[in-house]
Structure 1
């Protein structure tokens, strides 16, 4: 029996602070925080919370073109910093944008060149041995985050009233200075299978070390230099979903993001029985959505306000992002699609209230 093709789950890791005074990021840069880098064909804008109308903070930017597609493709995640909106799915916004390379070039020609240097990151094809989710702009989109092939340009669909209302929360921000900004960080990437293989090798080495200690009657110590491994105190509340979650991330608990378009969600607690109905159809084309990525608990500790503003109130266990299966476009003039977010809080957060 033929086995199914492996679709890798890619883990995003914090890879150091991004100095935005030295470099200028672009829509090709993958990062935590900072200001969003929109496609050149889009104006600068910032979404507002659908619940309280507060300006949202930009949390994560992921450049994720589909294999075989002619489109540049970026996903931006935003969250409301207001305390009353904490942990609510409707206080998060995921905006997907995509355009052709010709549209990018046309937009750049119409603008004055910017003197700041683009962020130059060492990058290779990130399904093989990439070190960053960033890319030199001249590489033209080398990262392939998905194996789905889109052979034809998506059809242009009529924008329904619901989509218009949801995108009304976007506001031009050319002169706006009160936007909440998080400290920016680069994101590096590893394949989850590679991490698991390294963990198995280390466990085997530890077992050999223990055998040697028992045989020789000596205490050699640890193989990892005695460094304390990341581990958060957890309640023993018998939550099966939580246990599965912790077991799955244990080889790499510092992961801030998981990417596997069309993969299975990793819930931190039992999902609602009607989860399938909660994930709304695409508001642009009416088609189904699939899981594309999810934010992880290790990201929370990195979310600090820029310029010494302190720790944020953005708390979550995981944020699951579902996007249009066909990755449709709304129209040539409206390139943003509002996707679906589902937030689960950390089951242990209630212990610290």
Structure 2
């Protein structure tokens, strides 16, 4: 949930996974992506190791996805990316077990040109990043001094996996990361036609006297709990695009999968400035 002063855009944009050339998923391309290492927007103000630790097991969290979502009409959010991290330890899967970070830059900044460059360009990063997770890391391998880590845990993990045999080589893929894919988007289609069909069906049932008796309807109503209703609504909504993994609707509403654990206004902390936050996007498990 984010600061509500940004103009809401109620329409829903869906995100889907798609394979892409590696260069398309690097910082200068301002990607939206899932897995791999984070493509940091800014090289300053990166989250620290304590900020990326799981509060339960104290191990580093893994990068899940990022969404490039500039806010139009405000220079300070000309570039804006949202980063989501989670813990890979199953025992840590609890309520609010993920970590969210926002990075934003004005159009004129020290990292990217004011106008898009004419061709492909990959500026070198001056920030040392962990080979395993891609987060800030200044702890270098004592043997090759070229590979760096965010901490001892990831240095040990890399050494046991490949680095002991392939020191000085960075061609292998980190086993800690999720598979990398680009997040491509398309708007969600309206449901007016489908809703119209449902109304026609209900009208036909009324004209025919209804296919079910009053007793049958009462029994169905008793069996259909509130949680069932919420889940059925969720399934119906995603059925046209079952492979969606992100639903983006800044200022809109979440699509709940269950009536349980829905946060109240009191559960959502205000912005640091004191303003109320609003919904921006949600992650959906691919089917």
Q: Give the TM bin, normalised by the shorter chain.
A: 0.5 to 0.7
Question: Equivalents in 1 of 2:87, 2:108: separation in Å?
Answer: 34
The 1-side partners of 2:243 and 2:94 are apart by: 21
- The Cα of 1:272 is off from its aligned counterpart by 3.9
Q: 1:173 and 2:179 equivalent?
A: no
* Alignment match, 1:95: 101
CA–CA separation in structure 2 for the residues paired with 1:272 and 1:80: 20
TM-score by length of 2: 0.60
Name the CA distance, whole Å, in 2 between partners of 1:270 and 1:280.
21
Confirm whether residue 250 of structure 1 aligns to residue 214 of structure 2. Answer: no
Deviation at 1:8, TM superposition (A): 1.3
* Deviation string, structure 1 residues 98-141 (Cα, Å, up to 9, x no partner): 121222xx2469xxxxxx955xxxxxxxxxxxxxxxxxxxxxxx
Unaligned runs of 5+ in 1: 110-115, 119-170, 204-235, 302-353
Question: C-alpha distance in 1, partners of 2:33/2:72?
Answer: 21
1:143-195 deviation digits (Å, cap 9, x = unpaired)? xxxxxxxxxxxxxxxxxxxxxxxxxxxx732421728311110111111126x
Q: How high is the TM-score relative to the length of structure 1?
A: 0.49
Q: Which residue of 2 aligns with 1:297?
A: 285
Cα displacement (A) at 1:37: 1.6
- Kept in 2, the 8 Å contact 1:40–1:108? The answer is no
The match for 2:273 is 285
Cα-to-partner distance string for 1:249-284 (whole Å, 9 max, x where unaligned): 1111111000001101111000447622111112x2
Aligned residue number for residue 80 of structure 1: 87
Counterpart of 1:245 in 2: which secondary structure? helix
SS where residue 93 of structure 1 aligns? strand
Q: What do you get for the CA RMSD once the two structures are aligned?
A: 3.1
Look up the match of 1:191: 187
d(CA) in 1 for partners of 2:265 and 2:46? 34
Is the contact made by 1:61 and 1:75 (CA closer than 8 Å) also made in structure 2?
yes
Q: Is the 8 A contact 1:8 1:193 kept in 2?
A: no
- The alpha-carbon distance between structure 1 residues 254 and 270, as it changes in their structure 2 partners (threshold 3 A), is same
Structure whose alpha-carbon radius of gyration is higher: 2
Task: Give the 5 Å matches for 1:225-240.
Answer: 239-240=228-229
- Pair 291,44 (structure 1): closer, same or farther in 2 beyond 3 Å: closer
Aligned residues: 196
Q: In structure 2, do the counterparts of structure 1 residues 173 and 237 end up closer, same or farther at CA, with 3 Å as the change threshold?
A: farther
Residue 33 of structure 1, CA deviation:
0.8
- Give yes or no for the alignment of 1:53 onto 2:58: yes
Q: Counterparts in 2 of 1:79-158, with a 5 A limit? A: 79-89=86-96, 91-103=97-109, 106-107=110-111, 118=122
Please give the secondary structure, in 2, of the residue aligned with 1:241.
helix
Which residue is equivalent to 2:143?
none
Q: Which residue of 1 aligns with 2:38?
A: 36
Aligned partners of 1:24 and 1:117 also within 8 Å: no
Question: Relative contact order (C-alpha < 8 Å, sep 6+): which is higher?
Answer: 2
